[in-house]
C-alpha cells in the first residue's frame, strides 16, 4: 500500500497541501494536521480519494472553524427504552432507514428504527427535489449506478404497494451550443450502455414542439423518458407506516450516543432514552453516518455536506411545463447534475438545487447568492417563470463521501454492523434497491444467530387514511356526512380539510408539530405559506393532543409558536 500512500502524498503536494499527514488505519486513509480553510479541507479530501483504500477519513482541523465536527445537541434524557431488545436496530429515519426497516419486516425479526429528530425525513430526505433519476448522469461501475438502475425500475411497484404518488414526466438535459448535437451518437451509445430506456436526442425544433416554454438558448436536448417524480417526504412516511404496520417500532427523539461491544460484535446501542440490546445494527444515519461508524469502531469514511437550495414556485406555474428541465452536464467530473426545474406532483414547479460545499451539516440557512443562482441558472429554463412566482425556498445537505459513492456493505471490522452511508443523489431513486440489499446483508448476519423465516403476516400494502380530493362527489359526501370535519376546509390554498389534519395528527406516526402537519397533510404549503391557516392548525394540534397552545412547536422542541396568552385570556375558541 505504501506506493499508493505515496501517490496520495504527491497529489497533496501538488495541491500545495504537503503539510497534511497521511496514515493508514483499518484499511482507510486518514488525513491529519491543520489546513487554512474549508476549501483546503475539501481539496485534501478529494486528493486522497480514488486510491485502493476503503475510504478517506478526513480528520483535518480547519483554522478558525472549531465546531464543524460537533453534533447537534442531545435530546432530553430518560430511560424509557432501557433493556428493550431487537433483532435489528436501524439508525436513521430518512428514506433509506425507513425503506430498510420495511424490507426487514418481510422476515420474522423484531425491528426498531431510531431517529434523533421529532419527525422522520427532517434532513436530506425531506430536502431534495424528489427526482427518480435515469442513470444517464451516473458513472458506470459505481454503486450509485447499480442502485439507481435497480431502484428506478422498482418504483412503480413500491408506489402502488405503499400508496404514494409517482409520475414519470421524463427529463430533458438541454444543450446550448450547436456543436453539442454532434455528441448525439456518442450519447446514444452511453445511454444504451447504461440501460437508459427510451433515450432520444431531440432537435431544437422538437424540444420547442414538446415543451414550448423551454429555455430560449437551447440548441437541442437529450431526453430520458424514465425520469420520475415523487414527494420524498411522503415516500419516507409511506415506507415507515408500512414498516410499523408490519411490526417495526419507531422511536423519535432518540439519538445514538454509543455502542456496547463484545470484541468485534455490538451488543447494545446506547441512546439518550436508554440502552437497547441489538442483534444487527444498520447505519443509515445520513449526514451523520460517519459519526455512527466511528462510535461503532469502523471508521473509514468522512461525510462532508454539500448544501443545496431549492425554491418552490406557485401552483399556477404548473401548467407551463410538462417535462423536467435541466442542462446537460457534459463533463464527467461534475459532482452534481446541476439542478433544474421539476414539475411536482401537486402542480408546483421546483427550481434548484444549488450545490455549495459548507462545513455545517445541518446548516439550512439560505443566502442571497444561492437564490440568485436559482434565478440565473434554473428559472430561465422555462421562459414563463418569474422571480415573483417563488413562494418559498429552503436548503438541504447532501451526505457526500470523498469517494462520492454510496457505501452499502457489511462492516469489515464489526461483524453485526451494516453501512448504508454516503447516500447522496441519486439516493432517493436508489432507496428501494438499497433497502433490499441491506435487508439481505442483515439476514446474512442474522442467519447464524437465529432461525430466520419469512414473516407470514407481512402485508406490503399500506393502509391509507381517506383523501377527500381523490373521491367522487358522492363518496366525498358520504365521508363528510359521517365526519363533517372532512367538509371543513382549513388550508385555503391547498384545500386541506380539518379531517385530514386530524388524521395526520393521529396517524400511525403522529404529526405533532406545525411543520409535520404541513408535510403530512399539505396545510400551509400553498402560496400564503400558512398565513391564514396557522392559527387554526395550532388550535387543532392543541385540542387533539391535549396540550396548551404555548406548547405547540413549529418543528422541533424549543420552536414554540405562541409565547404567551394575552393579558385578558381572549375569547376561548376552538379551531373556528
Partner 1 sequence: MHTDVLVIGAGPAGLAAAAAAAEHGAEVLLVDRESRPGGILKQCIHDGFGVIRYEEKLTGPEYAYRDIEAVRAYGLRVLNNTFVLDLKQSVDGFSLLLQNPIDGAFRVDTKALVAANGCRERTSRQVFIHGDRPAGIYSAGTAQNLINLHGYLPGRKVVILGSGDIGMIMARRLTLEGAEVAGVYEIKDEPSGLTRNRVQCLDDYNIPLYLNTTVTRVHGTKRVTGVSVAAVGADLKPLPGSETLVPCDTLLLSVGLIPENDILEPLALEFDAKTGGPVVDQRMMTSVPGLFSCGNATHVNDMVDYVSESGFNAGRAAANYCQHGGSQGSVEVVSGNNLLYAVPQRLVSGEEAAIYFRSDKTIDRVILVAQAAGKELFREKYLRIRPPEMQKIVLQPLSPEVESVEIGLEEVT
482 backbone dihedrals φ, ψ, rounded to 5°: -70, -40
Residue 263 is a binding residue for partner 1 (CB under 8 A): no
**What residues contact residue 230 under an 8 Å CB cut-off, 6+ apart?**
130, 132, 155, 159, 164, 165, 166, 345, 428
**Of these, 51, 409, 532, 543, which contacts partner 1 (CB under 8 A)?**
532
Nearer to partner 1, 258 or 557 (CB): 557
Residue 379 is a binding residue for partner 1 (CB under 8 A): no
**Of these, 210, 529, 543, 551, which contacts partner 1 (CB under 8 A)?**
529
Nearer to partner 1, 367 or 415 (CB): 367
**Contact 45/359 with Cβ under 8 angstroms?**
no
Residues 286-345 that bind partner 1 (CB under 8 A): 316
Grid coordinates in use for 83? 433493556
Region near partner 1 per CB under 8 A, out of 1-9, 13-21, 27-35, 481-489: 481-489
Q: Are strands 220-224 and 171-175 parallel, antiparallel or unpaired?
A: antiparallel
CB of 495 to partner 1, least distance (A): 7
Residue 391 is a binding residue for partner 1 (CB under 8 A): yes
494-513 footprint of partner 1 as x/- string (CB under 8 A): -x------------------
Region near partner 1 per CB under 8 A, out of 42-50, 172-180, 284-292, 365-373: 365-373
Q: How far apart are the first and last CA of the chain?
A: 70
d(CA 164, CA 323): 20
CB of 372 to partner 1, least distance (A): 10
Let me know if 430 is exposed, middle or buried by CB neighbors in 10 A (0-12, 13-18, 19+): buried
**Of these, 142, 329, 392, 545, which contacts partner 1 (CB under 8 A)?**
392
Grid coordinates in use for 102? 420495511
CB of 272 to partner 1, least distance (A): 18
Region near partner 1 per CB under 8 A, out of 209-217, 239-247, 346-354, 555-563: 555-563
Residue 68 is a binding residue for partner 1 (CB under 8 A): no
Residue 545 is a binding residue for partner 1 (CB under 8 A): no
Cβ neighbours around 101 below 10 Å, total:
32
**Of these, 331, 388, 451, 453, which contacts partner 1 (CB under 8 A)?**
388
Would residue 133 show up in a list of annotated catalytic residues for this protein?
yes
Cβ neighbours around 573 below 10 Å, total:
9
Nearer to partner 1, 157 or 565 (CB): 565
The number of CA neighbours under 13 Å toward the Cβ of 111 is 33
Residue 277 is a binding residue for partner 1 (CB under 8 A): no
**Of these, 24, 165, 346, 367, which contacts partner 1 (CB under 8 A)?**
367
d(CA 61, CA 67): 10
CB of 473 to partner 1, least distance (A): 5
Of the residues 133, 304, 373, 378, which is catalytic? Answer: 133
Nearer to partner 1, 5 or 528 (CB): 528
Nearer to partner 1, 394 or 458 (CB): 394
CB of 350 to partner 1, least distance (A): 14
**Of these, 46, 394, 413, 458, which contacts partner 1 (CB under 8 A)?**
394
Tell me the Ramachandran region of residue 385: left when phi exceeds 0, alpha when psi lies from -120 to 50, beta otherwise: beta
Grid coordinates in use for 373? 443562482
Tell me, letter by letter, the H, E, C secondary structure of 94-153. Answer: CHHHHHHHHHHCCECCCEEEECCCCCCCCCHHHCCCCEECCCCCCCCCCHHHHHHHHHHH
d(CA 503, CA 256): 30
432-471 footprint of partner 1 as x/- string (CB under 8 A): ----------------------------------------
- Residue 73 DSSP symbol: P
| Alpha carbon distances (Å) from 226 to 154, 218, 419 | 12, 21, 29
Residue 485 is a binding residue for partner 1 (CB under 8 A): yes
Region near partner 1 per CB under 8 A, out of 8-16, 175-183, 214-222, 527-535: 527-535
182 backbone dihedrals φ, ψ, rounded to 5°: -65, -20
Residue 573 is a binding residue for partner 1 (CB under 8 A): yes
- Residue 177 DSSP symbol: S
Q: What is the DSSP string of 243-272?
A: HHHTT-EEESS--EEEEEEETTEEEEEEET
Instruction: Give the residues lining the site for partner 1 (CB under 8 A).
Output: 316, 362, 364-368, 371, 388, 390-394, 473, 476-477, 480-481, 484-489, 492-493, 495, 514, 527-532, 534-535, 538-539, 549, 553-573, 576
Would you please indicate which residues are annotated as catalytic (active-site) residues? 133
Amino acid at each position: 500500500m505504501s506506493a499508493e500512500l505515496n501517490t496520495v502524498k504527491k497529489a497533496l503536494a501538488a495541491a500545495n497541501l504537503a503539510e497534511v499527514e497521511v496514515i493508514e488505519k483499518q484499511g482507510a486513509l486518514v488525513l491529519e494536521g491543520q489546513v487554512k480553510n474549508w476549501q483546503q479541507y475539501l481539496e485534501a479530501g478529494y486528493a486522497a480519494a480514488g486510491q485502493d483504500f476503503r475510504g478517506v477519513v478526513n480528520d483535518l482541523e480547519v483554522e478558525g472553524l472549531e465546531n464543524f465536527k460537533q453534533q447537534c445537541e442531545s435530546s432530553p434524557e430518560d430511560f424509557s427504552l432501557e433493556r428493550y431488545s431487537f433483532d435489528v436496530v436501524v439508525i436513521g429515519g430518512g428514506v433509506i432507514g425507513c425503506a430498510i426497516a420495511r424490507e426487514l419486516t418481510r422476515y420474522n425479526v423484531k425491528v426498531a428504527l431510531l431517529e434523533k429528530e421529532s419527525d422522520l425525513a427532517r434532513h436530506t430526505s425531506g430536502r431534495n427535489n424528489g427526482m427518480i433519476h435515469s442513470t444517464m448522469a451516473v458513472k458506470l461501475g459505481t454503486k450509485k449506478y447499480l442502485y439507481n438502475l435497480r431502484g428506478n425500475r422498482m418504483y412503480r411497484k413500491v408506489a402502488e404497494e405503499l400508496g404514494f404518488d409517482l409520475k414519470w414526466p421524463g427529463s430533458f438535459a438541454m444543450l446550448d451550443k450547436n456543436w453539442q448535437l454532434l455528441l448525439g451518437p456518442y450519447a446514444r451509445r452511453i445511454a444504451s450502455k447504461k440501460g437508459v430506456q427510451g433515450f432520444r436526442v431531440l432537435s431544437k425544433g422538437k424540444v420547442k414542439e414538446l415543451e414550448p416554454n423551454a429555455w430560449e438558448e437551447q440548441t437541442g436536448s437529450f431526453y430520458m423518458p424514465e425520469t420520475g417524480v415523487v414527494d420524498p417526504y411522503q415516500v419516507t412516511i409511506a415506507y415507515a407506516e408500512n414498516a410499523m404496520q408490519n411490526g417495526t417500532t419507531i422511536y423519535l427523539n432518540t439519538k445514538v450516543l454509543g455502542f456496547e461491544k463484545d470484541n468485534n460484535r455490538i451488543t447494545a446501542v446506547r441512546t439518550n432514552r436508554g440502552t437497547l440490546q441489538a442483534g444487527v445494527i444498520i447505519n443509515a444515519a445520513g449526514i451523520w453516518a460517519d459519526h455512527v461508524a466511528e462510535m461503532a469502531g469502523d471508521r473509514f469514511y468522512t461525510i462532508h455536506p454539500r448544501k443545496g437550495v431549492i425554491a418552490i414556485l406557485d401552483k399556477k406555474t404548473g401548467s407551463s411545463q410538462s417535462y423536467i428541465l435541466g442542462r446537460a452536464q457534459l463533463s464527467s467530473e461534475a459532482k452534481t447534475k446541476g439542478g433544474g426545474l421539476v414539475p411536482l406532483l401537486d402542480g408546483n414547479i421546483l427550481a434548484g438545487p444549488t450545490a455549495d460545499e459548507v462545513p455545517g451539516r445541518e446548516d439550512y440557512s439560505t443566502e442571497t447568492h444561492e437564490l440568485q443562482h436559482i434565478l440565473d441558472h434554473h428559472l430561465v429554463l422555462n421562459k414563463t417563470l418569474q422571480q415573483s412566482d417563488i413562494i418559498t425556498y429552503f436548503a438541504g445537505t447532501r451526505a457526500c463521501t470523498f469517494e462520492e459513492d454510496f457505501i452499502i456493505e457489511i462492516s469489515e471490522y464489526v461483524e453485526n454492523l451494516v453501512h448504508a452511508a454516503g447516500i447522496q443523489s441519486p439516493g432517493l431513486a436508489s432507496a428501494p434497491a438499497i433497502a433490499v440489499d441491506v435487508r439481505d446483508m442483515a439476514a446474512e448476519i442474522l442467519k447464524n444467530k437465529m432461525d430466520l423465516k419469512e414473516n407470514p403476516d407481512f402485508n406490503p400494502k399500506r393502509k391509507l387514511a381517506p383523501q377527500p380530493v381523490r373521491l367522487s362527489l358522492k363518496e366525498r359526501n358520504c365521508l363528510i356526512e359521517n365526519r363533517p370535519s372532512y367538509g371543513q376546509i382549513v388550508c385555503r390554498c391547498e384545500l386541506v380539510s380539518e379531517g385530514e389534519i386530524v388524521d395526520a395528527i393521529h396517524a400511525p406516526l403522529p404529526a405533532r408539530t406545525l411543520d409535520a402537519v404541513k408535510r403530512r397533510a399539505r396545510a400551509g404549503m400553498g402560496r400564503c405559506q400558512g398565513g391564514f391557516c396557522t392559527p387554526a392548525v395550532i388550535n387543532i394540534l392543541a385540542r387533539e393532543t391535549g396540550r396548551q397552545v404555548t406548547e405547540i412547536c413549529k418543528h422541533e422542541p424549543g420552536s414554540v409558536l405562541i409565547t404567551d396568552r394575552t393579558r385578558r385570556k381572549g375569547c376561548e375558541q376552538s379551531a373556528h
